[in-house]
Chain A
Amino acid sequence: MALSTSHLLGIKELTEGDIELLLSTAGNFKEVINRPIKKVPSLRDVTIANIFFENSTRTRLSFELAERRLSADVVNFAASSSSVSKGETLIDTVNNILAMKVDMVVMRHPHAGSAQFLAKHVKASIINAGDGAHEHPTQALLDAFSLQEKFGTLKGLKVAIIGDILHSRVALSNVYCLKKMGAIVTVCGPPTLIPNYYSHLGVSVSHNLVETLQWCDAANMLRIQLERQDIKYFPSLREYVLQFGLNMEILSRLNKKITIMHPGPINRGIEITSDVADGEHSLILQQVENGVAVRMAVLYLLAAAN
Chain B
Amino acid sequence: MQSRLLVSEIQFQTMIRRLCHQLLENHQNFNNTCLIGLQTGGVKVVNRIKTQINLFLPEVNLETGALDITFFRDDYKRRQVVVPNATQINFIIENKKVIIVDDVLFTGRTIRAALDAMLAFGRPQKVELLALVDRRYSRHLPIQPDYVGMVVDTITPESVKVSWKEIDGVDGITLLTPDNLEV
List the interface of chain A (C-beta within 8 A of B).
1-2, 21, 24-25, 28, 31-32, 35-42, 45, 70, 300-301, 303-305
Which of B81, B86, B119 lies in contact with A28, CB distance below 8 A?
A: B86
Contacting residues, chain A, for B116 (C-beta < 8 A): 41
What is the chain A residue whose CB lies nearest that of B122? A36
A31 vs B80: C-alpha distance in the bound complex, in angstroms? 23
The reply to whether B76 and A2 contact each other, CB–CB distance below 8 Å, is no
The reply to whether A304 and B81 contact each other, CB–CB distance below 8 Å, is yes
The reply to whether A41 and B71 contact each other, CB–CB distance below 8 Å, is yes
The reply to whether B71 and A42 contact each other, CB–CB distance below 8 Å, is yes
Contacting residues, chain A, for B77 (C-beta < 8 A): 45, 303-304
Contacting residues, chain B, for A303 (C-beta < 8 A): 76-77
What is the chain B residue whose CB lies nearest that of A303? B77
B84 at the interface (CB under 8 A from A): yes
Contacting residues, chain A, for B70 (C-beta < 8 A): 28
A35 vs B120: C-alpha distance in the bound complex, in angstroms? 7
The 3 closest A-B pairs by CB, nearest first: A40-B71, A37-B120, A304-B81
21 A-B pairs, CB-CB below 8 angstroms?
A: A1-B80, A2-B80, A25-B84, A28-B68, A28-B70, A28-B71, A28-B84, A28-B85, A28-B86, A31-B86, A32-B71, A32-B87, A32-B120, A35-B121, A36-B121, A40-B72, A40-B117, A41-B71, A70-B71, A300-B71, A303-B76
Contacting residues, chain A, for B122 (C-beta < 8 A): 36
A304 vs B71: C-alpha distance in the bound complex, in angstroms? 11
Which of A25, A31, A42 lies in contact with B76, CB distance below 8 A?
A: A42
The reply to whether B87 and A31 contact each other, CB–CB distance below 8 Å, is yes
B1 at the interface (CB under 8 A from A): no
| Further pairs besides A1-B80, A32-B71: 14, Cβ < 8 Å | A2-B80, A2-B81, A25-B84, A28-B85, A28-B87, A31-B87, A38-B120, A41-B71, A41-B116, A42-B71, A42-B72, A42-B76, A303-B76, A304-B76
- B-side interface size class: 20 to 34
Contacting residues, chain B, for A70 (C-beta < 8 A): 71
The reply to whether B76 and A1 contact each other, CB–CB distance below 8 Å, is no
Majority SS at the chain B contact face: loop
Chain B nearest CB, measured from A17 CB (Å):
12
Q: 0/1 per residue, B81-117, Cβ < 8 Å to A? A: 1011111000010000000000000000000000011
A40 vs B120: C-alpha distance in the bound complex, in angstroms? 9
Q: 0/1 per residue, B35-77, Cβ < 8 Å to A? A: 0000000000000000000000000000000001011110011
A209 vs B76: C-alpha distance in the bound complex, in angstroms? 49
What is the chain A residue whose CB lies nearest that of B70? A28
The reply to whether B80 and A36 contact each other, CB–CB distance below 8 Å, is no
Contacting residues, chain A, for B76 (C-beta < 8 A): 42, 303-304
Which of B72, B80, B85, B121 lies in contact with A41, CB distance below 8 A?
A: B72
Contacting residues, chain B, for A2 (C-beta < 8 A): 80-81
A303 vs B73: C-alpha distance in the bound complex, in angstroms? 14
The reply to whether A36 and B120 contact each other, CB–CB distance below 8 Å, is yes
A303 vs B71: C-alpha distance in the bound complex, in angstroms? 12
A21 vs B77: C-alpha distance in the bound complex, in angstroms? 17
Chain A nearest CB, measured from B39 CB (Å):
11
Chain B nearest CB, measured from A24 CB (Å):
7
Contacting residues, chain B, for A32 (C-beta < 8 A): 71, 87, 120
Chain A nearest CB, measured from B86 CB (Å):
7
Chain A nearest CB, measured from B112 CB (Å):
11
Contacting residues, chain B, for A28 (C-beta < 8 A): 68, 70-71, 84-87
What is the chain A residue whose CB lies nearest that of B88? A31
Contacting residues, chain A, for B81 (C-beta < 8 A): 1-2, 301, 304-305
What is the chain B residue whose CB lies nearest that of A296? B71
A2 vs B76: C-alpha distance in the bound complex, in angstroms? 13
The reply to whether B83 and A1 contact each other, CB–CB distance below 8 Å, is yes
A70 vs B73: C-alpha distance in the bound complex, in angstroms? 12
The reply to whether A37 and B84 contact each other, CB–CB distance below 8 Å, is no
Chain B nearest CB, measured from A204 CB (Å):
35
A253 vs B76: C-alpha distance in the bound complex, in angstroms? 53
Chain B nearest CB, measured from A39 CB (Å):
8
A55 vs B81: C-alpha distance in the bound complex, in angstroms? 34
A288 vs B115: C-alpha distance in the bound complex, in angstroms? 31
A278 vs B81: C-alpha distance in the bound complex, in angstroms? 39
Contacting residues, chain A, for B119 (C-beta < 8 A): 37
